[in-house]
Structure 1
Amino acid sequence: MLSDSEKLERLFELYEKKMYATAFQILQDVGQAEDAVQDAFIRVMSHMNQIKSPESQETKHFMIKVIRSAAIDIYRKNQREWENVFYDPEDVFKNQKMSNDRGMDTVEDRHVIQRALLALDTKYREVLELKCYFGLSHREIAMLLEVSEDTVAKRYERAKRIAIKMIGDGTCA
């Protein structure tokens, strides 16, 4: 049985390069990809007791999820910082007016949409969130989820159609 430090060392040997490649695909920046790998290993350290075998498929999937999460967190931070650089109060007013014009002005409307998204199958919700919330392209989502671009496009269209139907029917109300 490996100690936690031996397990961590083995995890690093097995997954560091793959994790870096995954982070770089998302972030397109060497330094930030390295930061994401570091953040991911810090997160992994708190779950060492759950890792039985560093070589197992379960551990591999866990490591992929952790690095994706760490890289997406950095991506989100970048987006927020970028948006703050170009913050214009007039734009906020215009966006609020457009939102109100579309009938999305009440908390209840936002809750209906949120419930619809939560009711979606995970594979559809994940694509919808990556596309709409993170602004990733079909290509980027395909690399992140390790599926084809065609699969991403089909899941995105289905997710939109299902969510719109649920909202329209009141299924999620």
Structure 2
Amino acid sequence: MKGTNKDYEKMEELYELYEQKIYFVAFSILNNIQQAEDVVQETFITIYQQLEKVCSLKTQELKRYILRISKNKAIDSYRKNKRHGLFLEEYQREAVEVVNENIGAWEQYSMSEAQIDTLLTTLKDSYRQVFKYRIFYNLTYKEISELMGMSEVNVRKQFERARKQVLDVIGGTQNDELKELKKNG
């Protein structure tokens, strides 16, 4: 979409009118300043992509439309946070089982989003996709098999292999740290 001066003026006007309202809606759902600011940005990107439609709406319709976009984006972000939390809980629970010698340290360990992304790059593409569908989106093996066009048995096997690789990477790093601590201790 090619932007004109008129488009930019309209976006500036919309920003002035709705930025605080969008932020309030997002913050009330997420209770997080950075994520609420991200929702404001994502909302205005969506508005810009649909600028022709937005310009044709009347004032009240426009306000409802913009606030609905921001509410939906905030809810999506909230759900993503919730999925991430479930993945971290699962990770921490299994990590404790892998390294029984140092349970206390593992209970305190949590991964950042960047660490999770880095960890998943060690997996083959199909393993990574199956792992994400299963962990982040909580899909069943049957749903994943339909999405990816492979047998349910194959999906289950790929998930188990991906899970084992993730645990090996996590366990390997932790074991190295434990050996180093024991050597120095």
Normalised TM-score (structure 2): 0.45
Name the structure with the higher helix share. 2
Between Structure 1 and Structure 2, whose CA radius of gyration is higher? 2
Normalised TM-score (structure 1): 0.48
Tell which has more relative contact order, 1 or 2 (C-alpha 8 A, sep 6+): 1
